[in-house]
Each structure stands twice: as structure tokens, then as C-alpha cells.
A and B are shown apart, each in its own frame.
Chain A
């Protein structure tokens, strides 16, 4: 027979930070080897950035195209990971009883949410490195305060995570899949990611500026393109979305 196993009871939970790190590492691996997720998180942003920077397909107003596009694509990358990827991934985990099963392990629910957040931030860091590298190669010259950029990215992540988890925890997994992709495409089109909001009529533009994706893209542009520090309006818009999304998710999320 095979090696003996010591099955005598020796229960005990690992320290919480170790559980969170280990779950986060698993989630990062799961995202990075998932082809569809990689398409959303890396390939589409890089293709948009390269295509529209290197060609004059779009009229992007005065200034270097890459300086306009990089902040928008960065915002898109945050949305793809914190919202679309997280909503779909968590929706299917809920549907297949993974959340329930993890709920039977010593990892507490708060620890699972912390791990998911950590993995979203880690994937975003990978995305940012790739996008910055491509942008620099295309001649991007960033300005502004790195602290403001970081703060905007964190606010954006919180806002998108809240709504991603809200969707995953309330809708059927198939509905989440469809809706999360639809929202991604819509916000890509009308959220000032690659198509400037100036092209829309005034009233419509004012409304679109209240979207989290536009707030993040415009805020990042204010800093990276125009050298502003702590752009007030985008930060307030993002903070409102973040509080609303996280509160709604905390209230309505169903684990099974």
C-alpha cells in the first residue's frame, strides 16, 4: 500500500494573513491563466493603446495621441479587472458552490474579500506595468503626481469592485456574464476611454462625466496629461460610486 497518513485530529487555523495571501495568490494565478480574462485585462487595452496611438484613425484633439490614450486605457484596465473579471469570476464561484465550500474552511468571509481585493490590485499592477511600458515605447511623456494617480486608481478599484461584487452576489452567473461584458463594452464606448467626451453634445457629456469610468479616465488625464494634483470632481464622483457600490454589495450579496 501507499505511505501511511497520520489522520489523528490536529485541527487549527493558519494565521489570517497567511490564509489571505495564499487565497490571493491562487486568485491571481486563476486570472492570469484564464484566456478570456487575459483578453479583457491585457490584450484589449494594449491593442487599443497601440492601434489608436500609432494611427490617426481617431481625432483625439490637440496634443500627442498617446498622452490622451494612456490614462483612458489605464482606466479601462482597472474596470476590466475590478469590475468585469471580478463579477464574472465571483458569479461563477457562487454558482458552483465554491464560495459555500470556502465558507466551510477556516478562511473567514472578510478574509476572502480581502484576498479578492489583494488579487485585483496585484493584477492591476501587472496591467499598469505592461501599459506603461507600451505607452513609453510609443513616446508617452507622463506628468503629474504619482500619489494622485495611485489614489485615483484605488478609488476606481473600490467603485468597480463594489458593483462587480453586487452583480456577482445577486444575479445568476449567466446573467452576470452577459451584463458585465455589456457594461464593459458600453462604458468603453461612452466613458471617455478612447473616444473623447468632447465629441458628445453638451448635456449628454455632463451626464457621461458622472460615470465611474469617465471620472477615472478624466481624473487620470488631469494628472498625467495636464499635471494637475488631486483632481477634485473626478475623485468625488469615484468616492460616491465606491461608497454606494460597496454598501449595496455588503447589503445584498448572497453567498449561495
Chain B
């Protein structure tokens, strides 16, 4: 058995079952992970993968059917009173009374903590100062999300759980959220977030855990996951003879045209390969445009691992 590590969150063979039509469904199915202290860990997965259930078990809202959970070395089901002051929680939505004003609710939660952040400064920071007196139900979705983030961090927690912190945010609000997460990390806090936004996972995380069907399907630093594999893209006139081009490339390479005039070469891209492709194009009187070498994105890895079919 793996001994419990000293990460901010340590999950070992976590299982959570729900009653479902025609039996039971395992929302979390033997999931193990370790989220390091002082780092940003992203749980990335399609809808229904078990991300929120996992995070809610860590927050103490749900109990696992089996497996072990350690949050800052404690058991959230048993040690709630010791844990709650140390952990900030941003749920996926809601949780604020509709009639509560933004500033009022933030001050209320701040008053539950010994040395909270200044609520006014935090509102200012998240661009909510002019909505400080706006009732929650009259705020836009993005403003509600930002208030929810403020509530999660106002108590100066050691560990913050953010469940889809940027879903539905406009680009400015998304960047403001990202900057705050980066600052939390720089200040020594641990962050565990869920997302299905690849940019977010890639940009923010030290460690990405890809979850599907309640299990970890891959994990690592973003650059480990995307790996060394590269690909070559260019545009040219439609209908090039790709079979012929491929015969000039090393075995194992692949080439496709999709949509018409957009070409993708998946191969071990090195200077030699690049020269071969451009030389082949030159010899066929083809001018390549927008030629670029790309690393696989997290999105490529994600779709490869979790498939392309739509999730309910």
C-alpha cells in the first residue's frame, strides 16, 4: 500500500457510488491522486467525469464509500472543525443568498476568520467595488463567480478548492481570476481546481490530472503530458498528393488534409523533416503558407485519452 504522502490533498482509491436508473453508478471509481503543497493542481475532465464529486469529498460535503482522503493531513469527514478555517471553497455555482449584497456577504464570511483579507481591497481587486451594494441575484453570472472566488480566499486559506472558477467568465474576468490564482501560489497557498478549459489547465497548473469515468487517465506537468511530440501545419493549394509526400518522410509519419488546403503532418519533427517537406513542396511548385511547428496541445492529449464522443 502507498503510505499517505504529505501533499495538500492525498486521495487513495477513492470510490463514490450513486443510485442510478437500473442500478448504481460509480461517480468516482478508484481514484488516487496527490496534490502538492504550494502548487496548483488541475483536475481536467469532461462533464460527468467525477471532478466535482471528488472535490466535494475533499471539502467534506460528501463521504466516500471507500478509499482514503487526506486534506492537509486531516480527514475532512471527521476533522471538519479543524480543517474549515484552513480551506477556502468556491463551489461551482450559487451559495450566496439572492438578497445579500456582495460586500455584505464578503464581510460576513471575512468575520468568521481570525485574520482575513480586507474585503474592500479584495472587491477592488476583482473589479466588484461598484457592485458592493448590489444584491447577489442582480449581479451578472461573471460577477457572481468573482464574488464566489473572493469568498473562497478572504480567510487567507492554506488550500483553496475552485470548482470551475472561470466557466462563463469574459476574457477580462478570466485573466483576473488566473492572476489571483498565480498570486495565491506565489504566496505559498495550495490550489486545487477543476476545469474543462485546456488553456486554463496548461497556463495555471503545476500538475494536471486528467479524470474520466471517475478514474485518473493521465497525470503530470502540462509539458510532460503534451510530451515531445510535435506536428507540422501549413496551408497550400488543395489536393496535394499526400501519399507521395509520405513516402519521402520517415516511417510512422502521418499526413492529412482537413479542411481542404490545410495540411497536418504528424511526425518526429526535426530540421531534416522540415527541409524534406519544403523541398517536396518546392519540387511540386507549391508555395506553403503559415507553415508552423506545433507541440501537441493539452487538448490533443485530452481528446486522445477521453475520446471524441459527446458527453451527456
Interface residues of A (CB under 8 A from B): 2-3, 5-14, 18-19, 22-23, 26, 29-30, 33-34, 92-93, 96-98, 100-101, 103-108, 256
B157 touches A97 (CB 8 A): no
Complex alpha-carbon distance, A13 and B157, angstroms: 11
What chain B residues lie within 8 Å of A106 (beta carbons)? Answer: 81, 84-85, 112-113, 155
A22 touches B59 (CB 8 A): no
What chain A residues lie within 8 Å of B18 (beta carbons)? Answer: none
Complex alpha-carbon distance, A126 and B291, angstroms: 75
Check B253 for interface membership: any CB of A closer than 8 A. no
What chain B residues lie within 8 Å of A22 (beta carbons)? Answer: 108, 111-112
What chain A residues lie within 8 Å of B187 (beta carbons)? Answer: 6-9
In the complex, what's the smallest C-beta–C-beta distance from A95 to chain B, in angstroms?
A: 9
In the complex, what's the smallest C-beta–C-beta distance from B280 to chain A, in angstroms?
A: 51
Nearest neighbor of B161 in chain A, beta-carbon distance: A104
Residue among A3, A12, A29, A92 making CB contact with B125, cutoff 8 Å: A3
B189 touches A26 (CB 8 A): no
What chain A residues lie within 8 Å of B153 (beta carbons)? Answer: 7
A9 touches B112 (CB 8 A): no
A14 touches B95 (CB 8 A): no
In the complex, what's the smallest C-beta–C-beta distance from B301 to chain A, in angstroms?
A: 31
CB contacts under 8 Å to A, within B101-138, are 104-105, 108-109, 111-115, 117-118, 121-122, 124-125
Residue among A13, A92, A101, A256 making CB contact with B85, cutoff 8 Å: A13
Complex alpha-carbon distance, A2 and B61, angstroms: 35
Complex alpha-carbon distance, A140 and B114, angstroms: 49
Residue among A2, A7, A105 making CB contact with B117, cutoff 8 Å: A7
Complex alpha-carbon distance, A5 and B87, angstroms: 18
Check B86 for interface membership: any CB of A closer than 8 A. yes
Given contacts A11-B85, A14-B112, A19-B112, contact A101 B99 (CB under 8 A): no
Check B89 for interface membership: any CB of A closer than 8 A. yes
Complex alpha-carbon distance, A108 and B87, angstroms: 14
Complex alpha-carbon distance, A22 and B59, angstroms: 24
Given contacts A2-B124, A93-B97, contact A8 B113 (CB under 8 A): no
A-B contacts, 5 listed (Cβ < 8 Å) = A2-B121, A5-B183, A7-B189, A13-B114, A101-B96
What chain B residues lie within 8 Å of A105 (beta carbons)? Answer: 84, 109, 112, 155
A96 touches B114 (CB 8 A): no
Complex alpha-carbon distance, A236 and B66, angstroms: 48
Nearest neighbor of A7 in chain B, beta-carbon distance: B187
Given contacts A22-B108, A34-B99, A100-B91, contact A5 B121 (CB under 8 A): yes
What chain A residues lie within 8 Å of B155 (beta carbons)? Answer: 11, 105-106
Residue among B100, B111, B157, B186 making CB contact with A14, cutoff 8 Å: B111
Check B188 for interface membership: any CB of A closer than 8 A. yes
Given contacts A5-B121, A98-B96, A100-B91, contact A12 B184 (CB under 8 A): no
A9 touches B157 (CB 8 A): yes
A98 touches B95 (CB 8 A): yes
Residue among A2, A11, A97, A108 making CB contact with B156, cutoff 8 Å: A11
In the complex, what's the smallest C-beta–C-beta distance from A173 to chain B, in angstroms?
A: 11
Nearest neighbor of A22 in chain B, beta-carbon distance: B111
B158 touches A11 (CB 8 A): yes
What chain B residues lie within 8 Å of A34 (beta carbons)? Answer: 99
In the complex, what's the smallest C-beta–C-beta distance from B174 to chain A, in angstroms?
A: 17
Of A2, A5, A11, chain B has the most CB atoms within 10 Å of the CB of A11
Given contacts A2-B125, A22-B111, A30-B100, contact A7 B184 (CB under 8 A): yes
Complex alpha-carbon distance, A105 and B105, angstroms: 12
B95 touches A97 (CB 8 A): yes
Check B238 for interface membership: any CB of A closer than 8 A. no
Check B4 for interface membership: any CB of A closer than 8 A. no
What chain B residues lie within 8 Å of A26 (beta carbons)? Answer: 100, 104-105, 108
A104 touches B84 (CB 8 A): yes
In the complex, what's the smallest C-beta–C-beta distance from B134 to chain A, in angstroms?
A: 14
Nearest neighbor of A103 in chain B, beta-carbon distance: B61
Given contacts A5-B183, A23-B108, A108-B81, 19 further A-B contacts (CB under 8 A): A2-B124, A5-B122, A7-B180, A7-B183, A11-B113, A11-B155, A14-B112, A19-B112, A92-B97, A96-B96, A96-B98, A98-B95, A101-B91, A101-B96, A104-B59, A105-B109, A106-B112, A106-B113, A107-B112
Complex alpha-carbon distance, A210 and B156, angstroms: 52
Check B94 for interface membership: any CB of A closer than 8 A. yes
Complex alpha-carbon distance, A256 and B124, angstroms: 32
Nearest neighbor of B114 in chain A, beta-carbon distance: A12
CB contacts under 8 Å to A, within B67-87, are 81, 84-87
Given contacts A7-B184, A8-B156, contact A96 B85 (CB under 8 A): no
